[in-house]
Amino acid sequence: MLEVKGLQVAYGQVTAVWDVSITVAQGELVAVVGPNGAGKTSLVNTVAGLVPAQQGRIHFLGQDVTALPSHERVALGLCLCPEGRKLFPDMTVEENLRLGAYTWRDRSEIARRVEQVFALFPQLAERRAQVARTLSGGEQQMVALGRALMARPRLLLLDEPSLGLAPIVVTEMFRAIRKIHEAGTTVLMVEQNVHQTLEIAGRGYVIENGRIALAGTSGALQADPHMRTAYLGLGA
C-alpha cells in the first residue's frame, strides 16, 4: 500500500532522514519508534507531503506520489494526524471534524461520520460546539484523531498520538487506535510510548539519527536486547 524507498529529507544544510525505506501493506498496523530528533516526524511529514523529499520515492497504492501536493494525497486516502495535533484553534469541535471530511461532499454522510466519531469518543459529543482552543489536551487529541478519521483514510499516519497525555488517556487513545485498525484502517504510527505501541502493532521500525536501526515484528523487537535496554527499560 505504502512504499518508501531511499528517502532523504533535509532542512537547509541539516539532513534529518538518510536513505530510509519502509513499507506498509494493506491491513497492517506498523510502528515507527526512536528517540527525540531521530527523524520520525520528518519521515511522516514527507510521506504526507508537508515537507519535500530530497531523494527517494514514495509510492501509495501503486502510484508515485513523491511530487504530489499534500491536498492531493489526502484525496487518495493518505491522511496524517500530525504531531502536536494542529487543530483549528478558533473553530468548534464540530467544525474541526467537518473539515476532516473536506474532500467529501455528501452532507448526510459527513453528518453520519461526525456521529461515529462521537460514538468513539463520547465525551466529545457534549463539547461539539466548544472551540478547540479551550479543550483539554486529551480532548484535543481525540478531536485530532476523529478529524483524521472523517476523511475515511485508506492509510492513517499518526504522529505521537499519546504525546503529553495522562496515562489513563494514553490507554484510551491506544484502545481507540486498536479499534480503528480492527475496523479495517491501515495504520502507520510514530510513537515514543514503545511498550504500548508494540502491544498493538504487528511490525515496527526503529529510527536512530535519521536511519533505520532495526526492523521486525513486534515480538522480535520486544525480544531484542538493544530494544529492551534502550526503549523498554528492561534487562537484556
- Residues of this chain that bind ligand ATP (CB under 6 A): 11, 14, 16, 34, 36-42, 83, 192
- CB of 36 vs Mg ion, minimal distance in Å: 8
- 15 in helix, strand or coil? strand
- CB of 81 vs other proteins, minimal distance in Å: 8
Q: Give helix 167-182 / helix 137-149 axis angle, nearest 10°.
A: 10
- CB of 41 vs Mg ion, minimal distance in Å: 3
Q: Which does 63 bind (CB under 5 to 8 A by kind): Mg ion, ligand ATP, other proteins, none?
A: none
- CB of 158 vs ligand ATP, minimal distance in Å: 12
- CB of 73 vs other proteins, minimal distance in Å: 9
Beta-carbon contacts of residue 93 (< 8 Å; ≥ 6 apart): 124, 127, 128, 129, 130, 132, 135, 143
Tell whether residue 42 is a contact of Mg ion (CB under 5 A): no
- CB of 25 vs Mg ion, minimal distance in Å: 24
* CB nearer to other proteins: pick between 40 and 147: 147
| Residues in 57-86 that interact with Mg ion by CB under 5 A | 83
Beta-carbon contacts of residue 231 (< 8 Å; ≥ 6 apart): 33, 194, 206
| Residues in 81-110 that interact with Mg ion by CB under 5 A | 83
Angle formed at CA 15 by CA 13 and CA 220, multiple of 5 degrees: 170
Tell whether residue 41 is a contact of Mg ion (CB under 5 A): yes
Q: Tell me the residue ranges of DSSP E strands in 40-131.
A: 55-60, 63-64, 78-81
Within 10 angstroms of residue 11's Cβ, the number of other Cβ atoms is 10
Structural element, H or E, at residue 28 = none
Q: Which does 99 bind (CB under 5 to 8 A by kind): other proteins, ligand ATP, Mg ion, none?
A: other proteins
Angle formed at CA 145 by CA 96 and CA 174, multiple of 5 degrees: 155
Beta bridge partners of 208: 211
Interacting residues with other proteins (CB under 8 A): 48-50, 69-71, 74-75, 79-80, 82, 86-91, 95, 98-100, 102-103, 105, 147, 151
The residue written with cell numbers 528492561 in the block is: 234
* CB nearer to ligand ATP: pick between 38 and 151: 38
What's the rounded Cα separation, in Å, for the pair 162 and 140? 11
* CB nearer to other proteins: pick between 148 and 198: 148
* CB nearer to other proteins: pick between 49 and 204: 49
Enumerate binding residues for Mg ion (CB under 5 A).
41, 83
